[in-house]
Structure 1
Amino acid sequence: MPDMDMMGGGMMAAMGIWALVLIATVLAILVAAVLASIWLVRRLRHDRTMLRDGTDAADILQRRYAAGEIDDDEYQRRRSTLSRP
């Protein structure tokens, strides 16, 4: 009769390795999903034209242009930069 302990022990070790691989894969997928969600939320909430104090950058640009601090070319260049997605 074949030695059943020898065969059963090898199968159990192989099943243990596959269980660890499966757990690591599931954890990696979960971590990737969480990180992708965080990135997506930050990307959607980020408004490039809004400054930290709540002032709109386009308003500041318009005030600087009206006050004569910047010329027509500079105003147009900066306005086109602000309107890019």
Structure 2
Amino acid sequence: MMNNAWLAVTMFLFWILLIVAIVALLRSMFFAERSKGEQRSEATPGSAAEQTLAERFARGDIDEEEYNNRLATLRATPAGRRKP
């Protein structure tokens, strides 16, 4: 009778450990994919500004000369050191 109880406890622990291992594996895979996606979607700070500038130029809000001047300024000024 003691062997049957020990066998039942061992089998229960085996299945619990197997389920925990599978869940841990799936979570690590999910978070690894998620972090890769976040890294891919990150862009340089200037590229968003350049995209906005290009959109304004395409809409006709600014002319070519102003576009080129602002683009040169964006590319010459390091991110985080923008002039007020």
Structure with bigger helix share is 2
Asked if 1:33 corresponds to 2:29, the answer is yes
Higher relative contact order (CA 8 A, sep 6+): 2
TM-score under structure 2 normalisation?
0.57
**Percent of aligned pairs with the same residue?**
14
TM-score under structure 1 normalisation?
0.57
Q: What is the root-mean-square deviation of aligned Cα atoms in Å?
A: 3.1
Which 4+ stretches in 1 moved above 4 angstroms?
none
Matched residues in 1 for 2:78 and 2:52: separation?
Answer: 16
Q: Mark the structure with the bigger radius of gyration.
A: 1
Write out per-residue CA displacement over residues 20-61 of structure 1, whole angstroms, 9 at most, x where no aligned residue: 0111011011001001101101111221132279437xx756
Please name the residue that 1:62 is paired with.
72
How many residue pairs get matched? Answer: 63
